[in-house]
Homo-oligomer: A and B are copies of this chain.
Amino acid sequence: MAVYTEVTEEELAAFVAEYDIGSVLACKGIAEGVENSNFLLQTSGGSYILTLYEKRVREADLPFFLGLLDHLAGRGIACPTPIHGRDGRALRRLAGRPASIVSFLNGVWPRKPQPQHCAELGGALARLHLAGADFPGRRANDLSVAGWRRLIDACGTRADEVRPGLAEELEAEWRGLASAWPAGLPEGIIHADLFPDNVFFLEGRLSGLIDFYFACNDLLVYDIAICLNAWCFETDGSFNVTKARLLLQSYRRQRGLSEAEMTALPLLCRGAALRFLLTRLYDWLNQVEGALVKPKDPLEYWRKLAFHRGVAGIGAYGLE
């Protein structure tokens, strides 16, 4: 589940009174989400999402995230829109935590993504990248090459508990990626965590993107690599090139990819796979007694990494 902080009804009523959204009718903790406490807040003014930011999100980053959502919503991206209080502020405190209210987005995330979902996703991702181009905020990606190094060091030889030899393999993979990581490719705002549970659909059409709490400045094509990993592998581990082709085609209809970006894709897919392998590995090795969220299998991303290491070229992703 994802409710770590309890809010009393008096605190909630006083908090909501800071906004122009009517009075509280109901407020239910949402089981989805891992990082923060999320509530579906219903008021006489409509439906909203109330988020209490828990310790995994840096408080200093919150103005960046909320400012980005303001910016993207203003550019027509279907993302949560921060609700500003009567004092103009979108960020305040509730039950001892930083907290915000954002608009509620209709839609359901796809439990079994189909090719058409990937086609919708590609276009939305490109529009997101274009809409973010003139956002003035900046946030470094702390889960890129240097961040992987820190995670590898933090896991150390304990990686071998998950798979014998894994610690050494991670070292070799990191060295290879660090020395070959491309420079000079187009950069901008990326979502950096656009998994199926962060993308809503209504009757087959993409209706919303949520959970921008990993958003940062990085190579735009790296965001594509994250999506290829998250959307285009089947549960049996096979890579569905039809899904990848549709995702990339629809992306390129909105924003063209340079030769250099396409050439870099296999390497970036390896990097994206390593990133999720490492955070999952770290969480696996550092399970909290009585935690409410089960850690995800790190080796799923080990197998994805192996796929990308083995591709002969961009044809494997449906590009030519």
Task: Give me the interface of A with B, judged by CB distance under 8 Å.
Answer: 1-3, 6-9, 12, 23-32, 40, 42, 47, 104-108, 110-112, 200-203, 290, 292, 294
A–B pairs, 6, beta carbons within 8 Å: A3-B31, A24-B108, A25-B202, A26-B106, A26-B200, A42-B47
Contact status A25-B106, CB under 8 Å: yes
| With A2-B1, A40-B40, A104-B26: A201-B32 Cβ-Cβ less than 8 Å | no
Chain B residues near A108 (CB-CB < 8 A) = 9, 12, 24, 26-27
Copies in the complex: 2
Name, among A27, A30, A32, the residue most crowded by chain B CB atoms within 10 Å (CB to CB): A30
| A40 surroundings in chain B (CB, below 8 A) | 28, 40
A24–B3 alpha-carbon span in the complex (Å): 25
Chain B residues near A23: list those with CB within 8 A: 203
Cα–Cα distance between A235 and B8 once the two chains are bound (Å): 15
A110 touches B9 (CB 8 A): yes
Question: Which of B24, B27, B107, B111 contacts A26, CB < 8 Å?
Answer: B107
Measured in the bound complex, the distance between the Cα atoms of B3 and A157 in whole Å is 35
B30 A30 Cβ-Cβ under 8 A: yes
- B residues near A292, Cβ cutoff 8 Å: 1, 292, 294
Contacts of A200 in B (CB 8 A): 26
Residue pair B201, A106 in contact (C-beta under 8 Å): no
Residues of chain B with a CB closer than 8 A to A290's CB: 294
Which one, B24, B29, B112, contacts A30 given CB within 8 A? Answer: B29
Report A115 CB to chain B, min CB distance, Å: 15
A7 touches B111 (CB 8 A): yes
A111 touches B2 (CB 8 A): no
A111 engages B1 (CB within 8 Å): no
A290 to B296, CA, bound (A): 12
With both chains docked as a complex, state the minimum distance between the C-beta of A134 and any C-beta of chain B, in angstroms.
Answer: 31
Tell whether, in the assembled complex, residue B31 and residue A1 are in contact, meaning their CB atoms are under 8 Å apart: yes
Q: Smallest CB-CB separation from A8: which chain B residue? A: B111
Cα–Cα, bound, A104→B12 (Å): 20
Q: Are B29 and A112 in contact (CB under 8 A)?
A: no
Q: For the complex, what is the distance from the CA of A146 to the CA of B17, rounded to whole Å?
A: 50
Q: State which of B9, B29, B104 has its C-beta within 8 Å of the C-beta of A31.
A: B29
Taking CB atoms, residues of chain B closer than 8 Å to A31 are: 1-3, 28-31
A9 contacts which chain B residues (CB < 8 A)?
Answer: 108, 110-111, 201
Let me know if B106 and A6 touch, CB within 8 A: no
Provide the residues of chain B in CB contact with A202, threshold 8 Å: 24-25
- A3 CB, nearest partner CB in chain B, Å: 4
Question: Which residue on B lies nearest to A39, using beta carbons?
Answer: B31
Compute how far the CA of A54 lies from the CA of B26 in the bound complex, rounded to whole angstroms: 25
Chain A to chain B: the 9 pairs with minimum beta-carbon distance, closest first = A1-B1, A29-B31, A1-B31, A25-B106, A3-B31, A8-B111, A9-B108, A31-B31, A26-B106
